[in-house]
Amino acid sequence: MQTAFLIVFIAIAAAVAVLAARQEEEAAPQGRMAWARTITYWVFTAFVAFEMAAGGLWDLLRIEYVRVILTHLGYPLYLLYIIGIPRIPCAFVLLAPRFPRLKEWAYAGAFFDYGGAAASHLLAGHGAAQWGAPLVFAAFTIVSWALRPASRRLPQAALATRSEVMTWVVPAGIVVAMVVFAFFTLPKGAPPQ
């Protein structure tokens, strides 16, 4: 029953978003492929935004379901506030018009959230049923990001006319040097109390 309600809710949310997006865009999508792309974008975006909003609420209310999972994974319960608070604004940013740079951050945050959840379950030895769901939502996030309309993207920066090797070698060399230096400066013993 809850699954059917969720699917209907997502379908209604996507339909409302498609209609609202017509106000945002300069013109309505032209052709079947453009309409299919718009509808697919909004369906996947609605799923991700709903999961972010619901997950944020669940985390902030510290419901038993998430407390048991977090405890089983070995995380402290205060982590629920750390990951729960940004989830609700993430849902809003994904659905709201404009703010393309903030949307990039929201997409990245959602992807890292789902990727971290999948990795946590996988590294804890859980089966595919536990780590598969976060991977599905990570894929939904990627699909939503890839299909977002031009009005929700960052303006294209001018592409460099040529790429010199040194522009990549220097930063890579600096990072390697930092890692080597960090290795030689490892603290010894327990941290000071």
pLDDT, tens digit (0-9, with 9 covering 90-100), for 6-63: 777 777 877 777 766 666 655 566 788 888 888 899 999 999 999 999 999 999 999 9
Nearest to 103 by CA among 133, 67, 144: 144
Contact 145, 107 (CB under 8 A): yes
Long-range contacts of 70-77, Cβ-Cβ distance < 8 Å, separation of 24 or more: 72/124, 73/120, 73/121, 73/124, 74/124, 75/120
Distances (CA, A) of 60 to 13, 24, 85, 88, 106: 24, 32, 7, 10, 19
The lowest-confidence range among 23-32, 60-69, 81-90, 102-111 is: 23-32
Instruction: Give the Cα-Cα-Cα angle 8, 143, 154 (nearest 5 degrees).
Output: 115
DSSP count for the chain of H helices, then E strands: 7, 0
Residue 70 DSSP SS3? helix
pTM summary value: 0.80
Distances (CA, A) of 128 to 55, 74, 82, 125, 137: 20, 19, 26, 10, 14
Nearest 10 degrees: Cα torsion 42, 44, 45, 50:
120
What is the CA 157 to chain-centroid distance, rounded?
Answer: 23
